[in-house]
């Protein structure tokens, strides 16, 4: 099974390059299942119904989220009913939405998807991501051997620890949130594909998607600055996974990048 996971989509530039690059990529790579992190897809922070629909129409099967999931308040109106979207699993019980989903691909193969947020350097008090991920993946494994985990976290050490924690239990642990792709993709000894961060799909001449002038102003003055998504040339960053369907073990993980 070939799985494509797209790094954090940032604002309109990210959506535009998804729509221009994805159709050819899906065909060329013979992708069976496509996921993307969409927590920054609407104006750089959060997601709306229209934006989610735009990304689904482009060919994305499942959207994972993160710490910005609640930034656009209209998300409360549809996240409970949108089975193609998952928010971090380790929010408290009763939080809208779902932290995992079991879906069927076009070839009738089942895939489990889990979204978890890290706690290191986080401004939100969340449950333990390690315990939550272990329990949820064990449930999904009863239904399918293929389980993909998006670990949305700041610290590289926390992400690496999650990779080892779930090695042999899931098909892949893919890091998101920092918007900078790392060069440490590998197959762990137990057969789990791992990368610390998949990267970003959005404006190139920016600071992780935001206008560089605004970020520089904040660093130089230490005063609050309203972030705006940068414009100009765009980049599409993702990873391609080859997963053995019966065992759920990853055969390979490969970084993929398209630039304008």
Structure tokens at 156: 């590289």
SS3 label, residue 193 = strand
Conformation bin of residue 209: beta by default, left when phi > 0, alpha when psi is -120 to 50: left
CB 175 within 8 A of CB 200: no
Which residue has 């996921």 as its token pair? 35
Give the pair of three-digit tokens for residue 8.
């954090």
Q: Answer whether 169's CB lies under 8 Å from 190's CB.
A: yes
* Rg value, the chain, Cα: 17
Is 152 an annotated catalytic residue? no
Residues designated catalytic: 68
């Amino acid at each position: 099974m070939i799985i494509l996971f797209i790094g954090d989509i940032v604002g309109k530039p990210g959506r535009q390059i998804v729509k221009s690059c994805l159709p050819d990529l899906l065909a060329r790579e013979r992708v069976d299942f496509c996921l993307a992190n969409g927590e920054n897809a609407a104006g750089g922070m959060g997601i709306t119904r229209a934006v989610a629909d735009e990304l689904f129409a482009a060919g994305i099967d499942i959207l994972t989220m993160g710490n910005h999931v609640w930034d656009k308040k209209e998300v409360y109106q549809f996240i409970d009913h949108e089975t193609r979207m998952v928010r971090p699993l380790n929010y408290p019980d009763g939080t809208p939405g779902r932290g995992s989903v079991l879906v069927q691909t076009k070839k009738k193969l089942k895939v489990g998807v889990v979204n978890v947020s890290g706690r290191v350097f986080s401004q939100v008090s969340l449950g333990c991501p390690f315990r939550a991920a272990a329990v949820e993946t064990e449930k999904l494994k009863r239904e399918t051997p293929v389980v993909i985990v998006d670990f949305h976290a700041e610290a590289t050490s926390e992400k690496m620890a999650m990779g080892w924690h779930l090695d042999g239990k899931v098909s892949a642990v893919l890091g998101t949130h920092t918007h900078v792709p790392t060069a440490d993709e590998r197959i762990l000894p137990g057969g789990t594909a791992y990368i610390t961060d998949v990267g970003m799909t959005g404006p190139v001449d920016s600071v992780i998607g935001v206008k560089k002038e605004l970020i520089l102003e904040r660093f130089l003055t230490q005063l609050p600055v309203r972030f705006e998504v940068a414009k100009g040339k765009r980049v599409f960053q993702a990873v391609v996974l080859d997963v053995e369907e019966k065992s759920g073990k990853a055969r390979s993980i490969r970084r993929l990048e398209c630039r304008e």
